[in-house]
Amino acid sequence: MQTLRKLGVFDKDTTRFFIEDAAKGGVSVIFEVRELPIISDVRFEGLKSVSDAQVIKSLRRKRIAVMKGDAYNAIELRNAREVIRYILATRGLPDATVQISTRDVDATSTGITFVIDEQP
């Protein structure tokens, strides 16, 4: 069970297992998992004082997995928001806000948009 959770591709809150009696005195182990959606695209709206490429470089340097192809992870998204806020603060915009918007692209993928207001 721990190995499945560590893979990072299944929802940790809904992953569980059941043990049932089976034929000839054995047991059946049933794993129930829900696969996390894959991030299909990442957008930055309202970003003016720094380029998208600079933000992406900072996120990669900090190993925050919120890029295309990564599994959707709410904690990683919050970490990314804090990195963006930090970058903006170092550019003289300590009051900038960063909101996260998600949209279902299809049954297995999600699009992410960071909505940035540099002058709240």
- 79-101 residue pLDDT tens: 999 999 999 999 999 999 999 99
Cβ burial 15-41 (10 Å sphere, 16+ → b, else e): beeeeeeeeeeeeeeeeebeebbbbbe
Angle at 88 between CA 117 and CA 42, to 5 degrees: 65
pTM, rounded to two decimals: 0.76
* CATH of the domain spanning 38-117: 3.10.20.310
Judging by beta carbons within 10 Å of its beta carbon (0-12, 13-18, 19+), is residue 80 exposed, middle or buried?
buried
Going by the DSSP 8-state scheme, the letter that residue 25 receives in this structure is G
Mean pLDDT of 95-113: 94
Domain boundaries, the chain: 2-32, 38-117
